[in-house]
Amino acid sequence: MIHLLGSTKRVCGNFSRREMLRVGGLSLLGLSLDSLLRAEDARPTPLALPARRAKSVILLYLFGGPSVQETFDPKPNAPREFRGEFGSIPTSVPGVHFCEYLPRMAKWMHRSTLIRSATHDMNDHSAGLLYTMTGAPPEKLESLVPTLSTQAPSMNSVIEYLSRSERRTMPATSWMPCYPGWGQQITRPGPFAGWLGSKWDPLITQCELRDLYTPKDFYDVQRHPVGRIVPLGTQLSAGISLDRFKGRRQLAEQLHQSAAAIGNSEAYERFDEYQRRAFDILTEAGSANSPWRAFDVAEEKPTTRDRYGRHLYGEAALMARRMVERGARFVTVCWESFEKVGGDPTAWDTHSGHFPIMKDYRLPALDQVYSALCEDLQDRGLLDETLIVVMGEMGRAPKVNASGGRDHWSYLYNILMTGAGVKQGLVYGASDDRAERPTEHPVTPADFIATLYGAMGIDPNIFLEDALGRPRPLTPGGSVIPAILA
């Protein structure tokens, strides 16, 4: 039996689209029942899902590309031009070492799976972001890959879609602190819903930077970015009381009922979804039990805020923990390049000045945010049901360049997974002594995403309906890695 998740709209009398597929009477723009049956026959044995599944995921996305040598796979025996300037420290797993500037992260290796053989060939920021968040590469490798409705949906959007039957005010997924590319005044692909339809985009917050400065160049990092993170449309306009707003909501619902008699277009359905969400936000954001209070970190003790860090990424990670407590399923905290908006310009894209930027800014902030998140989740009894993931869209070049930096290198990068759904104290895969290529168990973006879904208790072999009602495989080309699942 083919299982399709999605719309059950009635077509041709009393038959649903799903029923039409079952009797073989419908060809969906070239995707016939025969091809679906062949795909079904080719599917592997149903996945044995882990007993200790992850109810939620918090993804710390290191946009720009962190090097393996300066994070989770130091190469102490490599020549200096490959090894770099930093030393290594032992972790809580014997024989496994991290970079010396990640001492707090090293203490959590015994609760983690570390993939040291992630790889792909999209050696570009936007292309890599799209590929690692969706499992499907862009049609063409280019400098600025556009955001298209035909692209595969992100992990955030898939989880948003699969959570659609849950009664919730706050979306199941979010992306913080801003959409990717905001700080460079562009829009990068990656977090969006693609062929699922834009109403399944995650909640993407906006940020307001403070303590601005004008960088001398792209590598002029002077301080951690600080600012305010807010979800769009969560505050009433001045002069509008809550009672007055509720009256407007009743009027809008009456208008909607009239419009429904005329018929719905995809654009109208999308508008209706956004309008409903906005009404719910504005009506409930001020209530004592509102899940939207997750964004108010001022409710936390000063010591807790200090532990995470009073910078943008510490605040976002603390919000992520507060969201998970309130039922969020997938929260992404993405490092951003604030090159054109008066702040930290570089993210993890260190073609020049790599070692001082890593030592003074990137590694201390990551070490602080990740360890605070692990400690906080464990203290609250949530680490056994939450999976923390640390990754970027690529790694960095094995050899240090003439400017003291490392260039793009998508052919090898690491992924750290801590908490629920994965084995503890496991190193999966390996690379050569110079960190050029995987030597054992290469892991593609599609393999990783299929495995992450498995860790969440989601069968990655299912089909989803796209915005036009056509069934599509969730993770085409990806295979679950059973050795990683708990």
Segment 390-412, tens digit of pLDDT: 999 999 999 999 999 999 999 99
pLDDT number for residue 232: 75
Does 264 or 209 have the greater pLDDT score?
209
248 pLDDT higher than 80: no
Q: Tokens 């990754």 correspond to what residue? A: 391
pLDDT number for residue 285: 56
- Is 318 inside a domain boundary? yes
- Is 477 inside a domain boundary? no
Residues 64 and 94 both lie in one domain: yes
251 pLDDT higher than 90: no
58 pLDDT higher than 80: yes
Q: Counting Cβ atoms within 10 Å, is residue 244 exposed (0-12), middle (13-18) or buried (19+)?
A: exposed
Weakest mean pLDDT among 113-127, 288-302, 380-394: 288-302
254 pLDDT higher than 50: yes
Weakest mean pLDDT among 11-15, 173-177, 221-225, 361-365: 11-15
Question: How high does pLDDT run on average in the chain?
Answer: 86
- Is 479 inside a domain boundary? no
pLDDT number for residue 163: 95
Q: Are the C-beta atoms of residues 396 and 84 closer than 8 Å to each other?
A: no
Residues 165 and 274 both lie in one domain: no
pLDDT number for residue 110: 98
If pLDDT is split at 50, 70 and 90, which confidence band does 288 have? low
Residues 359 and 245 both lie in one domain: no
pLDDT number for residue 34: 41
Residues 280 and 303 both lie in one domain: no
d(CA 181, CA 340): 10
Residues 55 and 71 both lie in one domain: yes
Segment 117-161, tens digit of pLDDT: 999 999 999 999 999 999 999 999 998 999 999 999 999 999 999
pLDDT number for residue 106: 98
pLDDT number for residue 33: 39
465 pLDDT higher than 80: yes
pLDDT number for residue 256: 52
Residues 120 and 242 both lie in one domain: no
**What is the percentage of the chain residues whose pLDDT exceeds 70?**
78
What DSSP letter does each residue of 362-405 carry, written as one string? IHHHHHHHHHHHHHHHHHTT-GGGEEEEEE-S-EE-SS--TTS-
Nearest to 455 by CA among 486, 424, 418, 414: 486
CA 152 to chain centre: 14
pLDDT number for residue 301: 97
If pLDDT is split at 50, 70 and 90, which confidence band does 244 have? low
Q: What is the mean pLDDT of residues 429-433?
A: 98
Q: Tokens 């973006």 correspond to what residue? A: 445
pLDDT number for residue 283: 58
Residues 267 and 335 both lie in one domain: no
223 pLDDT higher than 50: yes
Q: How many domains does the chain have?
A: 3
262 pLDDT higher than 50: no
Q: What is the mean pLDDT of residues 266-281?
A: 54
d(CA 200, CA 223): 35
Three-state secondary structure string covering 295-354: HCHHHCCHHHHHHHCCCHHHHHHHHHHHHHHCCCCEEEEECCCCCCCCCCCCCCCCCCCH
Residue 356: Cβ within 10 Å count? 13
**Helix H or strand E encompassing 272:** helix 266-284
- Is 473 inside a domain boundary? no
- Is 90 inside a domain boundary? yes
Residues 9 and 72 both lie in one domain: no
pLDDT number for residue 274: 52
- Is 189 inside a domain boundary? yes
pLDDT number for residue 282: 55
Residue 212: Cβ within 10 Å count? 12
Q: What is the mean pLDDT of residues 218-224?
A: 97
Residues 270 and 356 both lie in one domain: no
- Is 230 inside a domain boundary? no
Q: Tokens 């799976």 correspond to what residue? A: 113
The length of the chain is 486
If pLDDT is split at 50, 70 and 90, which confidence band does 275 have? low
Does 410 or 268 have the greater pLDDT score?
410
Gyration radius (Cα) of the chain, Å = 23
pLDDT number for residue 169: 81
Residues 391 and 243 both lie in one domain: no
Residues 275 and 186 both lie in one domain: no
If pLDDT is split at 50, 70 and 90, which confidence band does 204 have? very high
Residues 385 and 308 both lie in one domain: yes
Q: Are the C-beta atoms of residues 328 and 175 closer than 8 Å to each other?
A: no
354 pLDDT higher than 90: yes
What range defines the domain where residue 81 resides? 51-223+292-461
Nearest to 470 by CA among 33, 41, 38: 33
Task: Record the tokens describing residue 368, joined without a space.
Answer: 């602080």
Q: What is the mean pLDDT of residues 433-461?
A: 97
Q: What is the mean pLDDT of residues 359-376?
A: 98
CATH number for position 319: 3.40.720.10
pLDDT number for residue 439: 98
- Is 485 inside a domain boundary? no
